[in-house]
Amino acid sequence: MLKDITLGQFFPGKSILHRLDPRMKIVLSILYIVVIFLCKNLAAFAFITLFTAAMVVLSGISLRTILKGIKPLIFILAFTAIYNLFFYGGDRLLVKLGFIEIYYEGAMYAVAMVVRIVCLLVGSSVLLTYTTSPIMLTDGLERLLSPLSKLKLPVHEFSMMMTIALRFIPTLIEETDKIMNAQKARGSDFSSGSLVRRAKALIPILIPLFISSFRRAGDLAVAMECRCYRGGNGRTKMTQLHLSFRDFAMLFVILLCGAAVLLINRFVPGFSL
């Protein structure tokens, strides 16, 4: 069912990753992504995989949830792997089947790419979305970007829009489910027939969904105005963010990890991108 999509969902908890300052988490995620792209050889990829696994353990999020999150991406992963396997040239031929040639470099590259995508997704979702509530996330983003408001960029409005969008994703999913069920009860059939018929079968879902989204947006605007919302000017926050020791400790760990990757790239021999 639609509700089973776990990517981008928040799982409340009390782990150290949950308690980090959201601003620091955003910075950490960016650094983490940079580190992933620094990896050049297999040893470095193995290292970053271990590092990602350690973060998963630290977050206390079950492996099943993580795997469920990757499941929708199986297709993309398989495509990436196969594409690189077959079309990446090199000089060490491994297999030759008719016109298909698989090279050692291609195989390594395929592995590296898949590892990179998986680490990227799992790591950033464990660091950010799984362990940070959407409110904290946008709050952190707003603070982080607040210097830009000096340049007259609408940082507050931007983050408010994000908060609202994030807030309504689960609502929309729930609503889609509900409407689908109501139409199924009237005999809609979404899973058989030609492509055109299936596309047509979506109309009874999309129209009510659009209508209720517009209505909800209007209601929300009115409700916000009734509470005198008038943008970010002079607005104070109920929760104040504080950087603490653990935030800097994690920053140190990530930097250390980056340094380690650079060293491995340089000193461990083997296949290199």
Partner 1 sequence: MNKLELKNVSYTYSAGTPFCKKALDSVSLSFEKGQIIGLIGHTGCGKSTLVQLLNGLLTPDEGAVLLDGQDINRKGGDLRSVRFRVGLVFQYPEYQLFEETVYADIAYGPKNMGLSKEETDRRVRETVQFVGLSEDCLSMSPFDLSGGQKRRAAVAGIMAMEPEVLVLDEPAAGLDPIGREEILGGIFSYQRKKKSTVIIVSHSMEDMARYSDRLVVMNRGRVLMQGSCREVFSRPERLTEIGLDIPQITRFMLALRKRGIDVRTDIFTVEEAKDEIIRVSGGRHRA
If one asks whether residue 12 binds partner 1 (CB under 8 A), the answer comes out as: yes
Site string for partner 1, 110-149 (x = CB under 8 A): ----------------------------------------
203 forms part of the interface with partner 1 (CB under 8 A): yes
What is the bridge-based pairing of β-strands 100-103 and 93-97? antiparallel
Q: Which is nearer to partner 1, 153 or 207 (CB)?
A: 207
Cβ 184 to partner 1, closest distance in Å?
6
Q: Which of 213/272 has CB closer to partner 1?
A: 213
Write a three-state SS string for the chain.
CHHHCCCCCCCCCCCHHHHCCHHHHHHHHHHHHHHHHHCCEHHHHHHHHHHHHHHHHHHCCCHHHHHHHHHHHHHHHHHHHHHHHHHCCCCCEEEEECCEEEEHHHHHHHHHHHHHHHHHHHHHHHHHHCCCCHHHHHHHHHHHHHHHHHHCCCHHHHHHHHHHHHHHHHHHHHHHHHHHHHHHHCCCCCCCCCHHHHHHHCHHHHHHHHHHHHHHHHHHHHHHHHCCCCCCCCCCCCCCCCCCHHHHHHHHHHHHHHHHHHHHHHHCCCCEC
- The residue type found at 22 is P
One-letter identity of residue 262: L
Select from 27-35, 206-214, 241-249, 251-259 the region that touches partner 1 (CB under 8 A): 206-214
Q: Which is nearer to partner 1, 207 or 221 (CB)?
A: 207
Piece of the chain touching partner 1 by CB under 8 A; list 72-80, 100-108, 200-208, 216-224 = 200-208
258 binds partner 1 (CB under 8 A): no
Decide: is 88 part of the binding site for partner 1 (CB under 8 A): no
Contact flag: residue 187 with partner 1 (CB under 8 A): yes
CB neighbours (10 Å) of residue 125?
23
Determine, following the binding rule CB under 8 A, whether residue 63 of this chain makes contact with partner 1. Answer: no
To partner 1, the closest distance from the beta carbon of 119 in angstroms equals 24
- Residue selected from 167, 184, 198, 200 as contacting partner 1 according to rule CB under 8 A: 184
Contact stretch for partner 1 (CB under 8 A) within 38-46, 150-158, 184-192, 249-257: 184-192
Asked if residue 65 binds partner 1 (CB under 8 A), the reply is yes
Q: Which residues bind partner 1 (CB under 8 A)?
A: 3, 11-12, 64-65, 175, 178-179, 181-189, 203-204, 207-208, 211-212
